[in-house]
């Protein structure tokens, strides 16, 4: 199912905004004007990733420093070893939609 979550102008470059859709916490990340949707839960210990820092296309968990690539959910730095789930994202005009 596809949900409208935000307008592009609502999420500045380098920022993250979290939404809850169908019981999932989803972090919408703006990487140099491109948007990516990832689960907002660190696969290492369940911490909220939106509380960490987004540097380029890497998000860091504030609890233990695990890092993930938001473009594909891949693990960049341990202690996490399991990649993040990513969600299909669609842009129509200024509207951002995420499929859950």
pLDDT tens digits for range 37-73: 999 999 998 889 999 999 999 999 998 999 999 999 9
pTM tops 0.85, yes or no? yes
Range of the domain at 80: 2-99
Q: What pLDDT was estimated at residue 59?
A: 98
Query: Would you say 83 and 39 are in contact if contact means Cβ atoms under 8 Å apart?
Result: no
Count of Cβ atoms closer than 10 Å to residue 85 Cβ? 13
Report the pLDDT averaged over residues 3-16.
96
Q: What pLDDT was estimated at residue 26?
A: 97
Q: What pLDDT was estimated at residue 74?
A: 98
Q: How far apart are CA 9 and CA 1, in angstroms?
A: 23
Number of domains in the chain: 1
Q: What pLDDT was estimated at residue 7?
A: 96
Domain of 69: which CATH number?
2.102.10.10
């Amino acid at each position: 199912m596809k949900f409208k979550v935000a307008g592009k102008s609502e999420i500045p470059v380098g920022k993250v905004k979290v939404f809850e859709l169908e019981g999932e916490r989803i972090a919408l990340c703006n990487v140099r004007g491109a948007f990516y949707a990832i689960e907002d839960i660190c696969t290492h210990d369940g911490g909220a990733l939106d509380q960490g820092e987004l540097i380029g296309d890497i998000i860091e968990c504030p609890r233990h420093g695990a890092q993930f690539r938001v473009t594909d959910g891949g693990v960049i730095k341990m202690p996490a070893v399991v990649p993040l789930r990513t969600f299909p994202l669609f842009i129509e005009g200024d509207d951002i939609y995420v499929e859950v």
